[in-house]
């Protein structure tokens, strides 16, 4: 829940800065760029999200112990089903 409040606070601050940039005239930033800042920020956020997912997939951790445990549980489930007369053959 703390993360939600942190993100809401950040959003309010960013919105306040954007509105203040719209109200005041700055010679450094033309008004067209200031008006397009929300679009730029959404595109930047999307790029960050894609990069984070891509990085997460590249360094996806493997868990050999968990894989062994899963294989044992699958074998145990197959034995249980066969004992109860359920056909689990791959036809």
30/70: higher pLDDT? 70
Average pLDDT over residues 22-34: 80
Domain that holds residue 20: 2-61
Other Cβ atoms closer than 10 A to 81: 12
Please give the tally of structural domains in the chain. 1
Give the single-character DSSP code of 62.
P
pLDDT of 80 > 60? The answer is: yes
71 within some domain: no
79 within some domain: no
pLDDT of 32 > 70? The answer is: yes
SS3 category, 30: coil
- Helical segments of the chain, H only: 2-23, 31-58, 64-83
6 within some domain: yes
22 within some domain: yes
49 within some domain: yes
Per-residue pLDDT tens over the stretch 50-79: 999 999 888 887 788 888 999 999 999 999
- Cα separation, 81 vs 73, in Å, equals 12
Largest Cα–Cα distance in the chain? Answer: 81
């Amino acid at each position: 829940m703390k993360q939600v409040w942190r993100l809401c606070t950040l959003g309010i601050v960013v919105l306040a800065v954007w509105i203040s940039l719209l109200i005041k005239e700055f010679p450094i930033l033309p008004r067209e760029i200031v008006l397009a800042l929300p679009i730029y920020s959404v595109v930047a956020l999307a790029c960050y999200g894609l990069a984070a997912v891509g990085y997460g997939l590249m360094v996806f951790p493997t868990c050999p112990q968990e894989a062994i445990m899963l294989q044992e549980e699958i074998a145990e489930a197959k034995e249980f089903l066969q004992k109860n007369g359920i056909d689990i053959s791959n036809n």
